[in-house]
Chain A
Amino acid sequence: MPPGLSGDMLQVEGPRGTTVSIPLALDAEAGVKSLTLAVDGGGPTSLSVTTGTMQANYTHSFDIPGATTLGTVFNLVFTLTDEEDAITRVTAMVTTTKSIDTPSTYEFSRNGETSVSYSGQIERLDQLEAIKAYIKTADGGAVVSEQVFLDMFANTGGDGAGNFTFTSTKQLKDKTFVPDLDAQLFEDMFARAAAASVDGNAGVEATNGTAGLIVRENSGNTVLVDENGREFTQFIEKGLMGAVLYNQIYNTYLTDVRIGNDVENFELSEGKNYTAMEHHWDEAFGYWDPPLDFTSPWPSERGSEDRFWSHYSNTVDNVNNGLLGTNSLIMTALKEGRTAIVNNDLAAKDTQRDVLYGAFELVAAGTAVHYINDTIGFLGEGKTGEAFHVLSEAWAFTNALRYSPQRTMDLGELETIMETDFGSDGNFWNATVLGLNTAKSKIVAAFPDLAPVQDDL
């Protein structure tokens, strides 16, 4: 027997966008005259009931609006008036609950179809792969062309002017950190790499002040470095990982403009199976592009499934059994954040966003320390060619700490590490173990999570 209109309190719950049933037992000895409903103190509206009956079951269907945020409670006051004008009331509290629980993998659907899409990000990562492959030919002594770089960077003609094996409407250049574009940072690097590749092709050996090729002792392969010993491949590839991939995550997709509380999160985007807020979160995910079930520790036999930043997360995730756990840290935040968006749980979404700002930086900082350790290790073996390579990596990952609006280290500090601690006057030939250890201790001090694993990284 459902509760009657005798002052009972009804507790009902359901996810947003659904209809919940509120069962009422109407009980009026003098006969029912009318039934009204007031929602959240609003004016009463009449509900259609059979008048004159003494007892009846009545079920009210309440639509929880789709735009409702998680946890919102609606107070529904039902008022029954009998033929003698006696009044009884009952309040039903409708609580908005979760639509979904956090899934174990980054998979979300709506009406049986996936609601996740980040094809544009994948296309840009593919373009970066192509640029990396091209600059690497210069490491082997090939001459590379500035124009080819520029065409790939701006995706001229939709296929990088014929330099991509695919077509795409996206480009890296228009997503590059604007101050870097203002400074022509990458265009300048392309021009210098092209010029240096001519020397590399002529067999010029890099020395202090002269760009050219350096032999990496372990493999016997060469890398092309500039007059300061900086490897073009690392500066360009990892440079763009910071200036495009992290920049887009930090300064576009995790910002209020894209995932703030005012962004549409109910109506689906036209012709799509996602809301705008969902899609923007997925686009941040796409720039990280991990396997959908990425976790910590990650099995080595699946090591080829991660890419760019997710790859380096895995590099520092579980070092010498010292679990930094960046894979899980980031995946959990991405999954919980996306779930929160589906549930319209705006506070939880913001919480996970903050976790991500910290965790993405932790990957860059940890990787920088990893390569500083490698540099010191190679110097311990007297392998300067290897040292130039890994120091170039260390520089580029430190550089990636520039891009977050919530950056942990300030720009001046980063500048000192990159241009002095990694070799005075911005010259890697001047790098010393003392300077490298100084840089390492600064980064570890700024990221205390790194302290327990700093020597294992």
Chain B
Amino acid sequence: MKTQYRFTYLALLAVGLMFFGIACDSAGDNEEPLDPMDPPPVETFDRAGMLDNVANNIILPAYAAFQESTDALQAAVAAFAGDPTAATLVPAQDALKATRMAWQEVSMFQFGPAESVALRGVLNTYPTNTTQINDNIVAGSYTLGSIQNIAAGGFPAMDYLLHGEGLTPDEIVAQFTSDADASARVQYLTDNVDFVKSNTDFVVQQWAANGGNYVGTFLSEDNGGTDVGSSLGQLINAVVLHFERFTRDGKIGIPAGVRSAGVPRPKATEAFYAGYSVELAKANLESIGRLFSGVTAAGQDGLGLEDNLDFIEQGALADDIVTTLQESITAIEGLSDPLKAQIDDDVNKVVATFTKMQELVVLLKVDMTSFLGISITYQDTDGD
């Protein structure tokens, strides 16, 4: 223990000295005109290069993969809708899972085009409202994406439709064939796929350089700083908010009951009916981890937030984040699917995972942002 204290003390001292050095440098830069005799200006981090890597090598490929998966989902659901059998059901279920996995790679990019269509909310609000879904099917008239139906559409609704609660494949198929509302249910499923697809296509089109060219806006010099409206500011706000509210809380904490006085809510798991919520959570956290390190889905390492922190001599924080990310992933790996069963079985393990992820919130939201000069603009409370 004694050694550890000493180490901490030395580390703090080192950080303090380093700050002193930085402060002197920047004061000199600001106040005095450039003189040929002056040492060359302090090298700055290649933020533009980092944003370029994030946009072109991470975000755009992730959206492309997600879009492809929605195409495949549309095809698989069309095959099932045209001939609902156990044989066509499984590919539809698999395609839904593949799409939901691909979604984990883009869901945290809720800014710009995705924000403008409320993508995360309209595609993936859960727990899904089965009463509303069934009412819609019976009514045969509904607007997907309306406030009324925000929890009755998208992936969680398809999760319910294609898996059901405790149904055999034949029983699921029967709902689309012999049930009184079978054809309306087929229609509802198809409408949902089309809805997912049209929203996805819009966002992809808006990002594309040859479309809405949001990538151009994102990489423009105007947005290259660290102020509130900057691309880095938007990216970090979106990702940290997503991690806090949708990865930590939505996927783990809320089902474990941390927002309901410790009373678990197993139905609030992301893939309640299909039962692969843990897998989705793991994928989401891994993609956040890759984004932090600047690593592409294919494993190619480029500039990321980690490099930015390293560059400004915050390697210890960067390491801390990487370690805590890995520990969080390990904690998630220690949970078994279906998450509902895990909660029923041993909810403490789920709560412990939430607690581990909470450490990451502090590191990302407080420490990382302060060193990078980014303001967190989203709030946890209401104005009035």
Q: Residues of A with Cβ closer than 8 Å to B?
A: 208, 216, 218-219, 221, 229, 320-322, 376-384, 386-389, 391, 423-424, 428-434, 437, 455-456
Contacts and interface: CB of A to CB of B under 8 A. Distances in A.
B382 A431 contact: no
A106 B246 CA distance: 48
A320 B377 contact: yes
Contacts of A383: 121
Residue among A216, A320, A389, A456 with the highest chain B CB neighbour number at 10 A: A320
B229 interface: yes
A429 B124 CA distance: 18
Nearest to A132: B384
21 contacts: A218-B380, A219-B381, A221-B382, A320-B228, A320-B229, A321-B227, A321-B229, A379-B147, A380-B110, A381-B246, A382-B126, A382-B151, A383-B121, A384-B150, A384-B151, A423-B146, A429-B148, A430-B148, A433-B116, A434-B117, A437-B117
Given A219-B382, A322-B229, A379 B118 contact: yes
Contact of A432 (B114, B119, B126, B143): B143
Given A431-B147, A433-B145, A434-B145, A382 B381 contact: no
A420 to B, nearest CB: 12
A383 B121 CA distance: 8
B106 interface: no
Interface of B: 110, 114-122, 124-126, 143, 145-148, 150-151, 227-229, 245-246, 377, 380-382
Contacts of A456: 228-229
B355 to A, nearest CB: 22
Contacts of B246: 381
Contacts of A455: 116
Contacts of A391: 147
Given A221-B382, A322-B229, 4 more contacts: A320-B377, A376-B115, A379-B118, A434-B117
A455 B115 CA distance: 10
Residue among A424, A433, A456 with the highest chain B CB neighbour number at 10 A: A433
A380 B147 contact: no
A386 B228 CA distance: 23
Contacts of B148: 208, 429-430
A386 B380 CA distance: 12
A34 B253 CA distance: 102
B118 A377 contact: yes
A380 B117 CA distance: 8
A206 to B, nearest CB: 11
B199 to A, nearest CB: 9
A381 B245 contact: yes
Residue among B121, B122, B377 with the highest chain A CB neighbour number at 10 A: B121
Residue among B114, B120, B147, B377 with the highest chain A CB neighbour number at 10 A: B147
Contacts of B146: 423, 429-432
Given A320-B229, A384-B147, A423-B146, A433 B122 contact: yes
A391 B148 CA distance: 13
B384 to A, nearest CB: 9
Nearest to A219: B382
Given A431-B147, A432-B145, A377 B229 contact: no
B147 A382 contact: no
A141 B40 CA distance: 66
Nearest to A221: B382
Contacts of B380: 218
A382 B124 CA distance: 8
Given A321-B228, A379-B122, A380-B119, A428 B145 contact: no
Given A428-B147, A430-B143, A377 B228 contact: no
Nearest to B154: A382
A381 B377 contact: no
B374 to A, nearest CB: 12
B382 A382 contact: no
Nearest to B246: A381
A231 B365 CA distance: 33
Given A229-B147, A423-B146, A433 B229 contact: no
Nearest to A376: B118
Given A219-B381, A320-B377, A321-B229, A433 B118 contact: yes
B121 A379 contact: yes
Residue among A219, A429, A432 with the highest chain B CB neighbour number at 10 A: A432
A381 B238 CA distance: 11
B121 A388 contact: no
Contacts of A378: 121
Nearest to A428: B147
A216 B150 contact: no
B118 A380 contact: yes
B147 A388 contact: yes
Contacts of A382: 120-121, 124-126, 150-151
A293 B118 CA distance: 39
B381 A218 contact: yes
Given A381-B245, A432-B143, A218 B382 contact: yes
B147 A429 contact: yes
A383 B379 CA distance: 14
Contacts of B227: 320-321
Contacts of B228: 320-321, 456
Question: What are the 4 A-B residue pairs with the smallest beta carbon separation, nearest first?
Answer: A382-B125, A380-B118, A379-B118, A429-B148
Nearest to A220: B259
A311 to B, nearest CB: 10
Nearest to B199: A433
A219 B259 CA distance: 12
A151 B150 CA distance: 40
Contacts of A423: 146-147
Contacts of B124: 382
Contacts of A221: 382
Contacts of A321: 227-229
Contacts of A424: 143
A389 B229 CA distance: 25
A433 B124 CA distance: 15
A377 B145 contact: no
A387 B147 contact: yes
Residue among B150, B380, B381 with the highest chain A CB neighbour number at 10 A: B150
Contacts of A428: 147
A380 B229 contact: no
A1 to B, nearest CB: 55
A393 to B, nearest CB: 9
Contacts of B377: 320
Nearest to A455: B116
Nearest to B245: A381
A29 B373 CA distance: 85
A384 B145 CA distance: 11
Contacts of B381: 218-219
A219 B379 CA distance: 11
B382 A216 contact: yes
B24 to A, nearest CB: 28
A383 B150 CA distance: 9
A432 B122 CA distance: 10
A401 B126 CA distance: 37
Given A219-B381, A429-B147, A437-B116, A381 B229 contact: no
